[in-house]
Structure 1
Amino acid sequence: METYPLTPDSTALLIELHYLPCLDYLSGLLKFGTVWLEAQEHYQKQSYRNRCYVLTANKVDSLTVPVQQGTRHLPIRDLRVANDQNWQMHHWRCIQAAYGKAPFFEYYAPDIEPYYRKNWTFLFDLNYELLTICLKLMQVRINLNLTEWYEKTPPVGLFDARSCINPANGPESYIFHQPVSYPQNFGPEFVPNLSVIDLLFCQGPAAKDVLKAGLRESEQILKTLR
């Protein structure tokens, strides 16, 4: 795991865009407040860039946005969604089944559902718009910026967390987030680090407080990355 060192001068986070990101990702955004979203990288398969995880009645289910073939070495801004598959209907039906009876679904669903009625051309645009609306619903103010070129070694002041948060990470590998349990819609055991919509639909206005309660200190972050 190669990252730019976390130092007292690190005032902003450099990270890629995820689809309905997990809580470890959101915690990173909350910790820094100023974020540079990597807009010039090449697409990487088997990552959070086009998938998220939700808790359904029987299991943790993954929702994957299909992308067009030929993605090798393709810049992320040029990656097109495969709209020949009716993924929007599938995703929204799964979200409804998972969270339709959650305490705050009826409050936030009207703000999120329209994004599943639109045909998206580029994955990057979909991810950016969903991230923006989720931050707004949680009343989290983040200064989001887009990189204009790719830098393998970012300048001093940026903490490089690109490709550090991925589906293979277990709780011991979470970078910014120490799981704090909250009542979920299904199951007797708490499942950590699901998509932001799990936290939003289950906790509503308290979502930001849950994230704050689980923020790791800088020393803990460095220990995780070693």
Structure 2
Amino acid sequence: MKVLIHPTYFPNVATFATIVQNDIIWEAHDNFQKQTYRNRCYICTDQGKHMLNIPIKHVGSNEGRQKYREVCMDTSYNWKKVHWRTLETAYRTSPFFEFYEDEIQPLFEGSEVLLYDFNMKTIKTIAHCLEMEIAEKKTSSYMLEPIDSLDARFLVKAKNESDFNFGHYSQVFEDRHGFISNLSILDLLFNEGPNTLSYLKNQPLDFDHA
């Protein structure tokens, strides 16, 4: 099935399960919107659910809306260093952190400028960890109602997200906070390792509300 989605920052389980289970088309011509997974993801630390947010450079109001593919990340402070240190603290004791560390860490040392391109790079890196091919097809223009593809762009919304009935897997701080569903793919990868791909293939995806 052809499914239209947004590339997001280390996508959550729902988005990555969609990537694994379908023929993906990437939305490349929409406007950037705040409070979405375009520039954030959620992990679990010893304090519970925690947001990693990528700061972006906002255009002036006189310039109108900004295209997602043109949004630049703000490098005025080293947020990549902060994100990586947070991931190390949260997942150093997870079963597979050290197994994937050498592939993930370089993402936090690069000099990328555009948010869209960086997000695609995080997705391709995870795909490489899972030994799977990633879709390359992108939209050529924006369509309010896509033709010949299922619209799953709603997955980008960070507020009021859908309640997917995903299966349980062991998490580092589960004894403190219980199982937290639909975190970033990083949480699943560091906890489940090689079993991640099988897990993603077997999760239910209900797009009836899309």
TM-score of the superposition, structure 1-length normalised?
0.85
AA in 2 matched with 1:54: I
Candidates 165, 168, 172, aligned match of 1:181: 168
Q: Deviations over 1:15-43 (max 9, x none)?
A: 111100000111111221x2111111110
Q: How has the CA–CA distance of structure 1 residues 148 and 51 changed in structure 2, closer, same or farther, with 3 Å as cutoff?
A: same
Candidates 131, 134, 151, aligned match of 1:139: 131
- In the other structure, the counterpart of 1:201 is 190
- In the other structure, the counterpart of 1:221 is 207
Say if 2:73 is the partner of 1:81.
yes
The answer to whether the 8 A contact 1:80-1:123 is kept is yes
The answer to whether the 8 A contact 1:67-1:82 is kept is yes
3-state DSSP of counterpart to 1:49: coil
Unaligned runs of 5+ in 2: none
Displacement after TM superposition at 1:165 (Å):
4.1
- In the other structure, the counterpart of 2:4 is 14
Q: How has the CA–CA distance of structure 1 residues 164 and 115 changed in structure 2, closer, same or farther, with 3 Å as cutoff?
A: closer
Candidates 149, 158, 163, aligned match of 2:154: 163
Q: How has the CA–CA distance of structure 1 residues 78 and 165 changed in structure 2, closer, same or farther, with 3 Å as cutoff?
A: closer
Identity of aligned pairs, percent? 29
Q: Deviations over 1:157-212 (max 9, x none)?
A: x0011134422235xx24xx531111111132111000000000000000011112
Candidates 47, 52, 56, aligned match of 2:45: 56
Aligned counterparts of 1:149 and 1:45: Cα–Cα separation in 2: 21
Structure 1 runs, 4 residues or longer, greater than 6 Å off? none
Aligned counterparts of 2:66 and 2:207: Cα–Cα separation in 1: 31
Count of residues paired in the alignment: 205
Q: How has the CA–CA distance of structure 1 residues 169 and 141 changed in structure 2, closer, same or farther, with 3 Å as cutoff?
A: farther
AA in 2 matched with 1:78: E
Displacement after TM superposition at 1:106 (Å):
0.6
Aligned counterparts of 2:112 and 2:136: Cα–Cα separation in 1: 21
Q: How has the CA–CA distance of structure 1 residues 117 and 186 changed in structure 2, closer, same or farther, with 3 Å as cutoff?
A: same
Candidates 25, 30, 34, aligned match of 2:15: 25
Q: Deviations over 1:104-163 (max 9, x none)?
A: 11110100101101122100111000000101212333433111211122222x001113
Q: How has the CA–CA distance of structure 1 residues 27 and 124 changed in structure 2, closer, same or farther, with 3 Å as cutoff?
A: same
Aligned counterparts of 2:31 and 2:68: Cα–Cα separation in 1: 5
How big is the alpha-carbon RMSD for the aligned residues of Structure 1 and Structure 2? 1.6
